[in-house]
Amino acid sequence: MNITHLECSACGLRHEAQRLLNLCQECGKPLLVRYDLEQAGRSLKKESLSGRRPDLWRYREVLPVEDESNIVSLGEGWTPLLTAERLGMTLGFEALYIKDESQNPTQSFKARGMTVAVSMAKELGVKKLAVPSAGNAAGALAAYAARAGLECFIFMPRDTPRANVVECEQTGAHVTLLDGLITDCGAEVARRKDAEGWFDVSTLKEPYRVEGKKTLGYELAEQCNWSLPDVIIYPTGGGTGLIGMWKAFAEMEQLGWIGSQRPRMVSVQAAGCAPIVKAFAEGKRFADEYPDAATVASGLRVPRAIGDFLILDAIRSSGGTAIAVTDEELLAAVAEIGALEGVFCAPEGAACLPALRKLIADNAVKPYERVVLFNTGAGVKYLESFS
Ligand SMILES: Cc1ncc(COP(=O)(O)O)c(C=O)c1O
Ligand SMILES: [Zn+2]
């Protein structure tokens, strides 16, 4: 066990590890797990990885969970980094890749966060979990809670893609659909959790989902033979994946695995819900709530994110940017990537392609640079968007 403490991402206050905590007890911002990386590095070595289990628990020393028997796994992570030659050719790019997260359990990258959050909940004695979700996080929580034998309570907008609702019901969750957005669902969980005895696993409102998501960064480095790509294009809702990768890069530098060079982090949002794009353009550190949020890319319909400043800090210090794309553009990209590469992307993942086209048009990326698009989920879960 290499955890030293939990640290507030805003005020830096130290909190004790192995205690059930949500947000910073002083300022209410997200808590992050800190490790003794020198100690972790004694057994976790680049060379030691090749023989390890082909899931995200291969990075065990930099993940929480003390007792191995508390790990709740369905085989998540270690997804392929696919070359996208044909798509690259149409853009004049030689080194274009798709990190295909649709190959995770429950078909999205949300499995990464939930395997760690549910394992920790089990370790810390939680019996009931609750989450507000745009869809995929709910499906993942339902599956991992079932696997752990825990009860879970899910709150989603009524117009969430049907596949997400059905998968939760079929994996034993208690599902409530509300008129409103994910923020309204979050408010409902917050209002009821104390009386009901639920542990709130809203993204970044507990410290462990981001630990699972950070393995995207470790995997990318390992799959790129420890030379990170030049540009990462990532669809951003709550931003946990982007924040997690950024954390992973810092940890890997401390482990001596990579240097100080970082990929340019490009956050993609839908034009109908683009709080981070707006705050980035306006030079703000915190994003205002986005009014009348609407997009078919349900995972991007997040009008307010508690980790907004962490997303914006990472984008800015990497020399990256934030780009909005329309629903028309991202839906057309689903079919284009599908036909050229055989990957049926979630609309959120497909949004990376029109974003790349905008970067090219702005001369913000060069054809010889190595670019990774993150397909965060599976198109098959959004059938109503393709009829
Ligand atoms: C398929 C998909 N992509 C991207 C996102 C946004 O992810 P994050 O909250 O890590 O920014 C979501 C969130 O629901 C999602 O379901
Ligand atoms: Zn704080």
Q: Give the model confidence (pLDDT) of 17-59 as tens digits.
A: 999 999 999 999 999 999 999 999 999 999 999 999 999 999 9
Of the candidates 82, 83, 35, the residue with the CA atom closest to the CA atom of residue 61: 35
Report the pLDDT value the prediction gives residue 176, as an integer from 0 to 100. 98
Which one of 108, 116, 156 would you pick to mutate in the ligand 1 pocket, going by the greatest count of ligand atoms within 8 A of its CB? 108
Q: Indicate the burial class of 352 (C-beta count within 10 angstroms; 0-12, 13-18, 19 or more).
A: buried
- Residue 380 CA, chain-centre distance (Å), reads 19
From the CA of 13, how far away is ligand 2's center (Å)? 6
* Protein residues with CB under 6 Å of any ligand 1 atom: 108, 134-137, 203, 235-241, 299, 346, 348, 376-377
How far does residue 30's CA lie from ligand 2's centre (Å)? 7
Instruction: From the CA of 236, give the closest atom in ligand 1.
Output: 11
- For ligand 1, atom 1, name the residue with the nearest CA: 377
The preferred substitution site among 168, 213, 300, 353 for testing ligand 1, maximizing ligand atoms within 8 Å of CB, is 300
**Closest CA to ligand 1's atom 6:** 237
Determine how many CB atoms are found less than 10 A away from the CB of residue 151. Answer: 17
pLDDT of residue 271: 98
Q: Looking at ligand 1, which residue's alpha carbon is closest to its atom 5?
A: 299
d(CA 224, CA 364): 22
Distance 207 CA to ligand 2 centre (A): 13
Q: In 10 A of CB 351, how many CB atoms?
A: 37
Taking the C-alpha atoms of residue 88 and residue 220, their distance in angstroms, rounded to an integer, is 19
Q: Which residue has the tokens 């008129």?
A: 179
* pLDDT score of 290: 97
Query: What's the 201 CA to ligand 1 centre distance in angstroms?
Result: 15
pTM: 0.97
Alpha carbons 65 and 116: distance in angstroms, whole number: 8
| Token pair in block for residue 160 | 């969430």
113 contacts 76 by C-beta, under 8 angstroms: no
Residue 30, classed as helix, strand or coil, is: coil
Is residue 354 within 8 A of residue 212, CB to CB? The reply is no
Q: Report the alpha-carbon distance of residue 321 to residue 283 in Å, rounded.
A: 11
Q: Which atom of ligand 1 is nearest to the CA of 377?
A: 1
Which residues of the chain have a pLDDT value below 50? none
Residue 123: closest CA among 211, 213, 18 = 18
Indicate the angle between helix axes 162-170 and 136-148, nearest 10 degrees.
10
Q: How far apart are alpha carbons 302 and 238 in whole angstroms?
A: 6
CA of 50 to the centre of ligand 1 (A): 29
* Ligand 2 centroid, distance to 151 Cα (angstroms): 30
Residue nearest to atom 9 of ligand 1 (CA): 238
Element (H, E) at 142: helix 136-148
Nearest alpha-carbon partner for 134 in 112, 110, 170: 110
Q: Using alpha carbons only, give the angle 164, 248, 82 rounded to the nearest 5 degrees.
A: 60
